[in-house]
Amino acid sequence: MNRDDMILISVDDHIIEPPDMFVNHLPAKYKDDAPQLVHREDGTDVWKFRDTVIPNAALNAVAGRPKTEYGMEPQGLDEIRPGCYDVHERVKDMNAGGILGSMNFPSFPGFAARLFATEDPDFSMALVRAYNDWHIDEWCGQYPGRFIPMALPAIWDPQLCADEVRRVAAKGCHSLTFTENPAALGYPSFHNEHWDPLWKALTDTGTILNVHIGSSGRLTIPSVDGPPDVMITLQPMNIVSAAADLLWSRVIKEFPTIKIALSEGGTGWIPYFLERVDRTFEMHATWTLQDFGGRLPSEVFRDHFLTCFISDPLGVRLRHDIGIDNICWEADYPHSDSMWPNAPEELHEVLTKYDVSDGDINKMTHENAIRWYQFDPFAHVPREQATVGALRAASPGHDVSIQSRSHRVIAPEEKLEGFRQRARAATARAAQ
């Protein structure tokens, strides 16, 4: 397949929320207590909610910036591409990058929205509903066919969470962001019946549970004194634990139509994982009492789990060992792993290297995403206008050059020390 003929839908991108997101959707009685974007004297912008301050780390929004500006230090909105927080600019960036559709995970509330769990359940739900309505109606709604809407959960109450899943499904949203380890956030594990109302709502509405790497809020580092490279290398590893936890759980057996996406987890590890779960079943099912109705765990995995990759040459090569119907592509805009604006070039190079058929390309680049998320972009964008080449032609002159945007140059040594300080603080909080 020619590069310009590909149709790309990304199932993992991110929003840097704009300061006015609560204006149109939060009841007036709560507006004074709502999260606020605060501009600080050092030029950075942070979200402040009561006693909690959430900075926008540089790695979260480095699209179009030189690698010398990567790091974990806070930054201001004027240091990042407007496409990170302005939906009109985002669509221009998508066009210039040849990307038809995008599903956007939240940033400052966290992937599981635990930030919104307050002592007042009505206020908490108002925050979740306001965020979801802003995301569905304003962010996604302004450009039909370009975004797969995603909802935040009310993670502190499974019944309220189930009710919200049903509410947003009626608005056309069939994607829920969640944590890969609820127990790490102080909630019951996936194995607990506590979550049954949520599982039922998901299956009743055909909504996908998206467990994103890092969504338990813990840094995956063996030692707080180690280099950040260790954390970055191990980031996808939590998703392996989540996959095992859910595959062996009662959830899969008692809710046989549930669908789970392993977001930003990569794919190269999956063939070994599937071999390992089958071996575990063969050797231990007699005493662990696992029963998949005469099927192997690897077969059951393919019924329930969606995986995604950015380039992942090994995963592309082993795509049929994974399951060609279980793989989607992601862009990860505007995070540091993103290939934007050259994703079509880099992806096409990998697909060509392994002589991937047009049918397999179509499944991984857009058809699987359309099927899993009940998303129909072609109802709004004609197929001939949805290709990489057509989208780029629709955005002539849009500047995608690499530009320095930081207010100040930060020495690598200072960045490393800042990372270690944050790692120590996170470890101390987790130990409490």
Q: Pull the structure tokens for residue 312.
A: 């992942």
Residue 126 burial (C-beta neighbours within 10 Å; 0-12, 13-18, 19+) = buried
d(CA 342, CA 361): 17
DSSP three-state, residue 412: helix
62 pLDDT higher than 70: yes
Do residues 110 and 341 make contact, with C-beta atoms less than 8 angstroms apart?
Answer: no
| 243 vs 106: CA distance, rounded Å | 22
Q: Both tokens of residue 427?
A: 């470890």
Q: Which helix (H) or strand (E) holds 378?
A: none
As a whole number of angstroms, the distance between CA 416 and CA 430 comes to 21
Residue 53, helix vs strand vs coil: strand
Of 160, 102, 121, 182, nearest to 381 by C-alpha is 102
**CA dihedral angle for residue 313, residue 316, residue 318, residue 319, rounded to 10 degrees:** 160
User: What pLDDT is stored for residue 408 in this prediction?
Assistant: 76
Per DSSP, what are the bridge partners of residue 54? 47
What is the distance between the alpha carbons of residues 209 and 372, in angstroms, rounded to a whole number? Answer: 11
Angle at the Cα of 192 from the Cα atoms of 190 and 194, rounded to 5 degrees? 105
Q: What is the pLDDT of residues 337-394, one digit of tens each?
A: 999 999 999 999 999 999 999 999 999 999 999 999 999 999 999 999 999 999 999 9
Span 123-169, pLDDT tens digits = 999 999 999 999 999 999 999 999 999 999 999 999 999 999 999 99
Where is pLDDT greater, at 404 or 121?
A: 121
More confident residue, 420 or 271: 271
Q: Is residue 170's pLDDT more than 60?
A: yes
Handedness of CA 209, 91, 325, 311 (dihedral sign): negative
What phi and psi, each to the nearest 5 degrees, are found at residue 212? -95, 145
**Joined tokens for residue 176:** 């829920």
DSSP state, residue 148 = E
Cα separation, 89 vs 353, whole angstroms? 33
* Residue 89 three-state SS: helix
- Residue 283: phi and psi, rounded to 5, are -85, -25
Return the pLDDT at 22.
95
Q: pLDDT by residue (tens digit) across 209-266?
A: 999 988 876 555 556 677 878 877 877 777 999 999 999 999 999 999 999 999 999 9
Q: Could you count the other beta carbons within 10 Å of the beta carbon of residue 30?
A: 15
Domains, in order of start, for the chain: 3-38+98-395 (3.20.20.140)
Q: Do 416 and 226 form a contact (C-beta atoms < 8 A)?
A: no
pLDDT in tens, 102-122: 999 999 999 999 999 999 999
Question: Does 344 sit behind a cis peptide bond, omega within 30 degrees of 0 on the bond before it?
Answer: no
How does DSSP assign 217-268, residue by residue? -----S-TTS-HHHHHHHTTHHHHHHHHHHHTSHHHHHSTT--EEEET--ST
Sign of the CA dihedral 403, 408, 413, 417?
negative
Q: What is the pLDDT of residue 219?
A: 52
The two three-digit tokens of residue 418, written as one number = 């800042």
Q: Across all residues in the chain, what is the average pLDDT?
A: 93
**How much is the pLDDT for 231?**
76
CA torsion through residues 421, 426, 430, 432, sign: positive
Q: What SS3 state is found at 81?
A: coil
Neighbouring residues of 23: CB distance < 8 A, sequence distance ≥ 6: none
C-alpha span between 289 and 275 (Å, rounded): 19
Please, which pLDDT band fits residue 426 given cuts at 50, 70 and 90?
Answer: low
The per-residue pLDDT for 217 is: 63
More confident residue, 69 or 29: 29
Strands in 301-384 per DSSP E: 305-309, 327-329
Instruction: Give the Cα separation of 235 and 230 in Å (integer).
Output: 9
Which pLDDT tens digit goes with each residue over 8-61?
A: 999 999 999 999 999 999 999 999 999 999 999 988 999 999 999 998 876 788
Q: Where are the alpha helices (DSSP H) in 107-247?
A: 121-133, 158-169, 196-205, 228-234, 237-247
Contact 99, 343 (CB under 8 A): yes
The predicted structure's pLDDT at residue 250? 96
Task: Give the pLDDT confidence score for residue 32 in this predicted structure.
Answer: 93
- Of 47-56, 182-191, 294-303, 415-424, least confident by mean pLDDT is 415-424
pTM, full prediction: 0.94
Whether the Cβ atoms of residue 211 and residue 251 lie closer than 8 Å to each other: no
pLDDT tens, residue by residue, 178-215: 999 999 999 999 999 999 999 999 999 999 999 998 88
pLDDT of residue 105: 98
